[in-house]
Amino acid sequence: MNIYDIAREAGVSITTVSRVINNKQNISAKTKEKVETILKKHNYTPNAFARGLMSSSIKSIGVVTVDIRDPHYANTAFTIEQDFSKLGYNVILCNTGGKTDESINYLRMLMEKKVDGIILIGSVFNDQQVRKYVSKHVRNLPIVLANGYLAVDNSYSVLVDDFYGISCCVEHLYAKKHTKIIYIKDAETYSGERKQAGFIAAMKEHGLPVDDTSIIKVPRGLEGGYMAVAKLVDDGKDFSAIIFGEDITAVGGIKKLKELGRRVPEDVAVTGFNNSTFAKCCDPELTSVDNKVETVASLSAKMLHDLIETKNVSSTIMIRPDLIIRKST
Amino acid sequence: MNIYDIAREAGVSITTVSRVINNKQNISAKTKEKVETILKKHNYTPNAFARGLMSSSIKSIGVVTVDIRDPHYANTAFTIEQDFSKLGYNVILCNTGGKTDESINYLRMLMEKKVDGIILIGSVFNDQQVRKYVSKHVRNLPIVLANGYLAVDNSYSVLVDDFYGISCCVEHLYAKKHTKIIYIKDAETYSGERKQAGFIAAMKEHGLPVDDTSIIKVPRGLEGGYMAVAKLVDDGKDFSAIIFGEDITAVGGIKKLKELGRRVPEDVAVTGFNNSTFAKCCDPELTSVDNKVETVASLSAKMLHDLIETKNVSSTIMIRPDLIIRKST
DNA sequence: TTGTACGCGTTATCAT
DNA sequence: ATGATAACGCGTACAA
């Protein structure tokens, strides 16, 4: 059932039908009503491909994440999807698994499918090859990096002040008389660098000791945190507080601390990052930096939509995180 | 840059270019090579809309979930996306928030965008209105319900034997000499009903007491479990074990138990469902039913793909879950 | 107010 | 092996 069939049945031209469908001017109320009846009767919907061929838009955007199973990314993607859904757009979901090749494949695919815009979630995508591809091939398609910084000309980002977030943790622990503080880092991304920089700066500001053994790099996830604590203890490192770069890593760390008979927060204070559900599940509940996922996601969505509508848009938005204090410190 | 431009530059017809692009027969190696050079030079990609107009397919599927922030749904959606991505398909993500109207809107949208198939995640979608819409309007579009049962003619489902899963919990607790067992139910879905039925059947089989006070209905999430335990204690109910219908609910329940000074598992044994990350984060680690999310997701994806390729497909696949025994029982 | 005719970029059919 | 042309379904400039 296409526009011709409708036109024939209504005894009008396809132009008239098209006008009715798209609510255009210059239609007599009578004709309009007649056509609408037929439209409804057959439950007609225009062919999206033919439409796209004319308008070169199909009202959809691409959302690229490393892994939607990560609650942080899931939250962001959820908010973006809901916001864009209200605007009549669909969201195409892509999970790259953190592989650069995959990222570029997905970008290519999204461009072929002629999405109206793209949101990358996480500073992982501020990767050299991705940047190169974007600046070379994604020229006239709006692209926004949510929760991270994209070092490309004419690019747009919404990010959280990670530097500030971690330094808040140091402030808080210092106020509680901690001086031997460890930082557990779990990603070599832009965001990861900012967090580490915030740690170092805040420690130095209070004249607290920082050296190679105060910062430990571990794999992502529960196991990473577990391993970090194991290593600290194996190395005989002396510490009274640990700042983790992610909640889930902190959960793993606390698990190991408990196994070793160290009490949290009496023997060791612990902070996390993301203020996720894990922070509330954790026993004791985790002091964590709230990095305002929903806010970042919504602002990213709004930014992309403004770009699609070619409004004037600022290139970078930075959000201040909050420290949520719970039982673990 | 379209197929005409390429043809002109290569000094051949568009037919020839099309043949090269689609790897068709009857092309001389020489011509093929010549065209491929030009193709590569301009980084040409065919217009997906024009293609769709001919083939009425754009190689994409719709994945409909209640809320991608739920780890269980995120896992399923992730696996489906990865599997279909390997087959050259894109995934359009939809979050209905559990609202029937939204579900139907999304289904309509997906049909308009001419996806090649649809996967619904969770037995929530076995809703009367959704069923009605599907059987009326989604007639010639393959649709699969992952992790639940869809009571519609000509429909396809992959599901876990929830009945068996919960009855395993009862068996396990009974073997540990528990007789006063509570079941906490958190969803009125098909899956929820099966779980409850499994509980009742297994209890009766061992001659254990079951009545209205043995089964408590609570809202989803951490708070639900917390409230459930609060209610049990308020009511002065005597119990030695609790079976929760979801891990996260169990986590909430354990939290409240601890606050009340009841030890897990010494005073109260606890089981969860889903074998999620929460089960491992929990202290003590949670005995939980592994409902094989990835398996269900992969089988659903395979089923849908087979349907798209119009292969013969069985209408229902049922998976047996496993009980993973940890410290909470 | 309404209709005719063309273009969008591709694939399929039928000639050559 | 290669090419000309129709068809897919819609929007729109222009004509009536």
Nearest nt (C1') from B47 Cα = C9
Residues of chain B above pLDDT 90, percent: 87
Cα gap A61→B93, rounded to integer Å: 11
Alpha helix locations (H) across B146-266?
A: 162-175, 190-205, 222-234, 247-259
Contact B178, B208 (CB under 8 A): no
* pLDDT surpassing 90 at residue B151: no
User: Tell me, in Å, how far CA of B97 is from C1' of C9?
Assistant: 39
Which residues in chain A have their CB less than 8 angstroms from residue B248's CB?
277, 281
**What are the angstrom distances between the C-alpha of A175 and each of A111, A329, B7, B308?**
51, 11, 72, 62
Cα gap B290→A223, rounded to integer Å: 20
Of B52, B111, B278, the CB nearest to A49: B52
Model confidence band, residue B186 (pLDDT cutoffs 50, 70, 90): confident
What phi and psi values does residue A181 have, to the nearest 5 degrees? -110, 135
The model's pLDDT over B73-110, given as tens digits with 9 standing for 90+, comes to 999 999 999 999 999 999 999 999 999 999 999 999 99
Cα gap A113→B199, rounded to integer Å: 48
**What are the angstrom distances between the C-alpha of B96 and each of A299, B99, B125, B172?**
21, 6, 10, 36
Task: Determine, for residues B114 and A78 on separate chains, whether the beta-carbon distance falls below 8 Å.
Answer: no
> Helix, strand or coil for residue B270?
strand
Angle made by CA atoms B138, B115, A41, in degrees to the nearest 5: 40
Could you list the beta-strand ranges (E) of A192-248: 215-217, 241-244
Mean predicted lDDT score pLDDT of chain B: 94
Which residues in chain A have their CB less than 8 angstroms from residue B112's CB?
45-46, 48
Which neighbouring-strand residues pair with A273? A289
What confidence score (pLDDT) does residue B281 get?
Answer: 84
The model's pLDDT over B288-310, given as tens digits with 9 standing for 90+, comes to 999 999 999 999 999 999 999 98
Which residues in chain A have their CB less than 8 angstroms from residue B280's CB?
222
User: Tell me, in Å, how far CA of B206 is from C1' of C16?
Assistant: 83
Nearest-CA distance from B202 to chain A in Å?
A: 30
* pLDDT surpassing 90 at residue B210: yes
The reply to whether B75 touches chain A by the CB within 8 Å rule is yes
Cα torsion at A139, A141, A147, A148 (round to 10°)? 0
Task: Determine, for residues B95 and A111 on separate chains, whether the beta-carbon distance falls below 8 Å.
Answer: no
Task: Determine, for residues A93 and B63 on separate chains, whether the beta-carbon distance falls below 8 Å.
Answer: yes
Chain A and chain B share a number of CB contacts under 8 A equal to: 128
Gyration radius of chain B's alpha carbons: 26
Residues of chain B above pLDDT 70, percent: 100
What confidence score (pLDDT) does residue A36 get?
Answer: 92
Ordered DSSP codes for B21-36: HTT-SS--HHHHHHHH
What confidence score (pLDDT) does residue B311 get?
Answer: 85
Of A56, A75, A251, the CB nearest to B69: A75
* pLDDT surpassing 90 at residue A149: no
The model's pLDDT over B216-255, given as tens digits with 9 standing for 90+, comes to 999 998 999 999 999 999 999 999 999 999 999 999 999 9
Q: What is the mean pLDDT of residues B174-184?
A: 96
Q: Mutate which of B55, B281, B293, B327 to test chain A, going by most A C-beta atoms within 10 A?
A: B281
Nearest C-alpha neighbor of A120 from the set A131, A112, B70, A221: A131
Of B43, B91, B281, the CB nearest to A92: B91
What confidence score (pLDDT) does residue A20 get?
Answer: 94
What phi and psi values does residue B168 have, to the nearest 5 degrees? -60, -40
Of B77, B280, B283, the CB nearest to A68: B77
Task: Determine, for residues B53 and A50 on separate chains, whether the beta-carbon distance falls below 8 Å.
Answer: yes
Nearest nt (C1') from A32 Cα = C1
* pLDDT surpassing 90 at residue B153: no
Task: Determine, for residues B93 and A93 on separate chains, whether the beta-carbon distance falls below 8 Å.
Answer: yes
> Helix, strand or coil for residue B181?
strand
User: Tell me, in Å, how far CA of B12 is from C1' of C16?
Assistant: 15
CB proximity under 8 Å: A 219-278 to B: 222, 248, 251, 255, 258, 277-278
**What are the angstrom distances between the C-alpha of B314 and each of A276, B161, B317, B321?**
40, 17, 7, 20
Which residues in chain B have their CB less than 8 angstroms from residue A114's CB?
47-49
What confidence score (pLDDT) does residue A272 get?
Answer: 97
Contact A225, A253 (CB under 8 A): yes
Gyration radius of chain A's alpha carbons: 26
What confidence score (pLDDT) does residue A311 get?
Answer: 85
Nearest nt (C1') from A53 Cα = C8
What confidence score (pLDDT) does residue A167 get?
Answer: 97
Residues of chain A above pLDDT 90, percent: 85
Residue A9, token pair as written in the block: 């049945």
Model confidence band, residue B312 (pLDDT cutoffs 50, 70, 90): confident
**Contacts of residue A21, Cβ cutoff 8 Å, sequence gap at least 6:** A3, A39, A46
Cα gap A117→A63, rounded to integer Å: 9
The reply to whether A112 touches chain B by the CB within 8 Å rule is yes
Model confidence band, residue A26 (pLDDT cutoffs 50, 70, 90): confident
Nearest-CA distance from A210 to chain B in Å?
A: 30
Cα gap A303→A172, rounded to integer Å: 34
Is residue A133 within a helix (H) or strand (E), and if so which, with residue range? helix A128-137
Cα gap A312→B235, rounded to integer Å: 60
* pLDDT surpassing 90 at residue B139: no
User: Tell me, in Å, how far CA of B44 is from C1' of D11?
Assistant: 26
DSSP classification of residue B122: S
Which residues in chain B have their CB less than 8 angstroms from residue A45's CB?
108, 111-112
Looking at strand D, which nucleotides approach a protein CB closer than 7 A?
Answer: 1-5, 7-13
Model confidence band, residue B328 (pLDDT cutoffs 50, 70, 90): very high
What phi and psi values does residue B227 have, to the nearest 5 degrees? -65, -40
Ordered DSSP codes for A251-316: HHHHHHHHHTT--TTTT-EEEEES--HHHHHSSSPPEEEE--HHHHHHHHHHHHHHHHTT----SE
Nearest C-alpha neighbor of A92 from the set B115, B86, B134: B115
User: Tell me, in Å, how far CA of B13 is from C1' of D3?
Assistant: 6
**What are the angstrom distances between the C-alpha of A118 and each of A60, A121, A284?**
9, 10, 39
* pLDDT surpassing 90 at residue A153: no
Mean predicted lDDT score pLDDT of chain A: 94
Q: What is the mean pLDDT of residues A235-244?
A: 96
Task: Determine, for residues A50 and B45 on separate chains, whether the beta-carbon distance falls below 8 Å.
Answer: no
Task: Determine, for residues A53 and B53 on separate chains, whether the beta-carbon distance falls below 8 Å.
Answer: yes
CB proximity under 8 Å: B 172-191 to A: none
Least confident of A89-93, A323-327, B133-137, B201-205: B133-137
* pLDDT surpassing 90 at residue A56: no
* pLDDT surpassing 90 at residue A133: yes
What confidence score (pLDDT) does residue A286 get?
Answer: 97
The reply to whether B95 touches chain A by the CB within 8 Å rule is yes
